[in-house]
Amino acid sequence: MRLQLIQTDRMLSRMDQRVNQLVAAQMMRLLSESGADSAAMADALDMSETTLARRLTSQTIFTIAEIARAAMFLGCTLADLIPSGATEPVA
């Protein structure tokens, strides 16, 4: 039972990282298309540019609240930032 929990934790961790990478890629694409700069986005997300850079390079993970604020800033929906299939489990 304990081994199953450890394996599940590892799977969820990989899924979180994968989802974060996909979300970050979408954010960078939409930010570029919007013509806004990262300083304005960092301000909208109430974080430093350094923290935003860490999130966008997947060194740290976005929170749901940050993703929601990013969607508002970028003028898109949450679904636009979380690509289809992004939350499917990774083996």
Low-confidence ranges of the chain (pLDDT < 50): 1-13, 90-91
Identify the CA nearest to 57 among candidates 17, 88, 16, 86.
Answer: 17
The one-letter code for the residue type at 23 is V
Q: Sign of the CA dihedral 49, 51, 52, 53?
A: positive
CB-side neighbour CA atoms (13 Å) of 29: 11
Q: What is the pLDDT of residues 70-91, one digit of tens each?
A: 999 999 998 999 877 655 554 4
Instruction: Report d(CA 1, CA 80) in Å as an integer.
Output: 38
Q: What pTM was estimated for this model as a whole? A: 0.75
